[in-house]
A = this chain, B = another copy of it.
Amino acid sequence: MRYADDAQPVLTLTSGPVNAYPDVLRGLGRTVLYDYDPAFQAFYEKVVEKAQKAMRLSTKPVILHGEPVLGLEAAAASLITPDDTVLNLASGVYGKGFGYWAKRYSPNLVELVTAYNEALDPQAVREMLVKHPEVTVVSVCHHDTPSGTINPIDEIGKIVAEHGGYLIVDAVSSFGGMKTHPEDCSADIYITGPNKCLGAPPGLTMAGISDRAWAKMKANPAAPRASMLSILDWEKAWSRSEPFPFTPSVAEMNGLDVALDLYLGEGPENVWARHALTAKAMRAGVRAMGLDIWPAREAIASPTTTAVRIPEGIDEAKLRKEVRARYGVVFSSGRGETLGKLTRIGHMGPTAQPIYAVAALAALGGALNALGFEADTAAGVAASVAAIDADA
């Protein structure tokens, strides 16, 4: 028995999109209200307030109506001007990628790049800022998903704040799965979305914007306005008494509303603990199986995605193909420089359940064995269960 390519898999354990929570899936099917209907406008305001609570913001966050790459591009387009010097901090493919957007809006770009299995060193950031006092904007990716590594953004944020720079944070695949909030890291623009750890489908951006970021964007004549790329257009849109610049994605808002209720209802600390334990069970199993994680150190490994270093001689694409065909389980590949070198096993939102780590490890081990690598599946699963039990 093999799962056909065009048949639905059993478990989607990817770095996102993951399947949404069942309650969110049903929430998507709520009645579609007219965007000018007072009932919808009141609803929209309430959802923004829930997002504000979840993001622990003192100001209203902005919802943009495209998945978080829209938010990242819009942040670059709105905040960065040719007068700015941008310091882009990169520890992986996504962090590095933001530099290209930054460069589109200012020719003045400096970068601090670490190995792609490492995290950024706050001290190195401090030194870079001393060396480049002209830096006005700093950008950083919190969880560089293609590496499965976490950067210390709260520390970095403090340093950037001391320097006086504006900070753009990509927290797309970390927010909701671990302790991170815009104001914890003094972010000026903090981009995340419902489609990773909140367990909703892709289609929206949630952005935390500082007062001074609003001011800088307003002062930027080139900041997108009357555009899909605009953040400014949406400044007041949260209010039930203001019109929307264009029709918001009503169904996605319905889904986000449920996702936020679930997150706040379960308790953020409990949600984070669930992600952390699943990741711990994954890592314990990976190592006991005779493999290694991609991140250089356990301390920088993501709680929402475990990147597994692929042994020499194993074709990573074939490995995932075999995992899916034999067990109906879907993993993610690397991206760019990490493509082929690692497999990513996501544990986000509804898939952040320790028992799924066990299933993932069994599938990983079985497929590796099928491809000729002797993984000790038995030891891997046992170590994984032991990690779960240690927390029971």
Residues of A within 8 A of B (CB): 1-2, 5-12, 14, 16-20, 22-23, 25-39, 42-43, 65-67, 69-70, 73-74, 100-101, 195, 201-203, 226-229, 246-252, 255, 273-274, 277, 324-330, 332-333, 353-356, 358-359, 362-363, 365-366, 369-370, 377-379, 381-382, 384-385, 388-389, 391-392
Contacts and interface: CB of A to CB of B under 8 A. Distances in A.
Contacts of A385: 362, 365-366, 377
A38 B95 CA distance: 27
Nearest to A322: B392
Nearest to A69: B246
Contacts of A31: 8, 19, 22, 25
A333 B36 contact: yes
A6 B378 contact: no
Given A39-B5, A229-B229, A370-B392, A247 B25 contact: no
Contacts of A369: 389
Contacts of A30: 22-23, 25-26
Nearest to A227: B73
A9 B42 CA distance: 13
> Nearest 8 CB-CB pairs, A to B?
A378-B378, A378-B382, A201-B251, A203-B249, A25-B29, A5-B38, A28-B28, A69-B246
Nearest to A363: B355
B203 A251 contact: yes
A366 B249 CA distance: 33
Contacts of A8: 31, 33, 39
7 contacts: A1-B391, A16-B34, A17-B250, A23-B30, A25-B30, A65-B203, A203-B249
Given A328-B355, A355-B11, A247 B67 contact: yes
Nearest to A7: B39
